[in-house]
Structure 1
């Protein structure tokens, strides 16, 4: 399982999460790369292009973390997600209004649950609420 963080999330998050989680995952869930989008694609790459590229990479299973609901282009982005079986976790809109450190600490709280959900369910599209007592909801 590999994770890629969208451009709308802080570039420091993937490296920090990778270091914090090193060797801390359940044995049945192998975590590979945890990267920011800019490590694999140019920052201005259209969503459709990088989504298709990830989907066509049959050797690697990618899970996308984003604040973007992928609702642009008349749903074409969501269609690509479904077509290629990409999993995506979208942070609820309320995350955007939070200060950087509050958002970062809350994401660290959510990370183990997010990894567990990604490992247990293929082709998932879930919204991540702000409240840690909340539950993922299907999108």
Structure 2
């Protein structure tokens, strides 16, 4: 499973999570963990990068975002489903938290995000702020 952090999230999160967590999971459970700007120009339209990820042979991608995936515009939703892309959207309450609190909370959530992403395809889940909460399908 590969993970891509959307452009609306701090670029450093992907690298930090990759370095912190990959050796704590089963071998082969996690592939790449990258920020959108590591693979595509920052201004790439969503439909273009979603399609490109979906068309990568042998790669399963999960998107981490705090973006409009809640609304699931028609074409983007169709591409997500067509290629089996999953998305985890940070609940709106995350945006009001200080950077380091958000970072620490993401680290707390990361093992659950990985487990859920590996167990499902085409999932669209909201990640609540509280680690005592549960993913909500969106």
- Quickly name the TM-score band, shorter chain normalised: over 0.9
Moved more, 63-72 or 2-11: 63-72
Partner of residue 51, structure 1: 50
Residue 97 and residue 75 in structure 1: after superposition, are their counterparts in 2 closer, same or farther (change >3 A)? farther
**Distance in 2 of aligned mates of 1:34 and 1:62:** 10
Partner of residue 118, structure 2: 119
Partner of residue 76, structure 2: 77
Partner of residue 60, structure 2: 61
Instruction: State how many pairs are aligned.
Output: 137
Partner of residue 4, structure 2: 4
Partner of residue 103, structure 2: 104
Structure 1 segments (4+ residues) deviating >3 Å: none
Unaligned runs of 5+ in 1: none
Unaligned runs of 5+ in 2: none
> What TM-score, normalized by structure 2, do the two folds share?
0.93
Partner of residue 25, structure 1: 25
1:21-79 CA-partner distances (Å, limit 9, x unpaired): 1310135x52110000000000000111101111111321111100013237x432122
